[in-house]
Amino acid sequence: MLVKNWMNKKPVTINADATVQDAVELMLKNELHLLPVLENDLLVGVVTDKNLKKVSVPDLDIQPADDPDDKFSRIKIKEIMTAEPVSIPLDYTIQEAAEVFLVNKISGAPVLNDKKKMLGLITQADIFRAMILFTGTGDKGIRFAVDQVNFSGCVKEITDLIRDHGGRVNSVMTSVKRAKEGHIKIYITAYNIDAPSLRRLKEILEEKSTLLYMMDNSANERTIY
């Protein structure tokens, strides 16, 4: 899943010479927490909720005003923005973008091409939407998590079992992180398994591997081991 397929290609932006008042109005109107800042159509920074709080910091070297609104209308965005912000390359995957967010403790970032031109904006919400679609979360399906000895074909063996019981496999994710040495954790979402088949499948999975959980969203039932 590539960032370019999930980013907002026409994000709301603001000019570096705009005022704090302009930024506040734009962010409130569009329910935003981050605005890319442009100067001559080039990205020069971002302004966030955190940046806007700087307006009240005394060492901004801005003369106080009796009317706060007047103060906001005199402070330029370029005085409080984050210059050289964290950005995401256009060819990054959603997973790589999520790692950048986590490491830098940010909730969004401009997306740049190899010439550093901004082509869009990717946010946590975009990543969540991608992951929900990829995993089938929200659909009425059955989710399995198993701890399995890691051998060639082990994932296929589990998915074949599900298909043999009438299931249609929607997504498969695997990880060796937090698994015992020589083991792998397999997370599967499937559909179209009737109740009798599901019971038989559950018994077989318990015999062949360690079943971590099984959730039947259609019947609103879940078993966690």
pLDDT at 63: 42
158 has pLDDT over 50: yes
In a shared domain, residues 104 and 142: no
Q: Residue 117 has what pLDDT? A: 87
Q: Are residues 102 and 70 in the same domain?
A: yes
Are residues 94 and 159 located together in one domain of the fold? no
For residues 160 and 116, membership in a common domain is answered with no
Residues 201 and 91 occupy one common structural domain: no
Among 108, 132, 156, residue at a domain's last position: 132
Looking at the fold, whether 19 and 116 belong to one and the same domain comes out as: yes
- Residues 196, 105 within the same domain: no
Rounded CA-CA distance 211/147 in Å is 6
Confidence of residue 71 (pLDDT cuts 50, 70, 90): low
* Same domain, residue pair 16 and 39: yes
Q: Which of 204, 206, 203, 167 is nearest to 188 (CA)?
A: 167
Range of the domain at 37: 3-132
pLDDT over 60 at 57, yes or no: no
How many domains is the chain partitioned into structurally? Answer: 2
Which one of 107, 132, 157 terminates a domain? Answer: 132
pLDDT-above-70 percentage for the chain: 91
Single out the residue in 87, 103, 132 at which a domain terminates: 132
Task: Please give the sequence-ordered ranges of beta strands (E in DSSP) within the chain, or none if there are none.
Answer: 14-15, 34-39, 42-48, 82-83, 88-89, 108-112, 118-123, 142-149, 168-175, 183-191, 210-216, 221-224
Residue 17, SS3?
Answer: coil
- CA distances to 8, 113, 222 from 225, in Å: 40, 46, 10
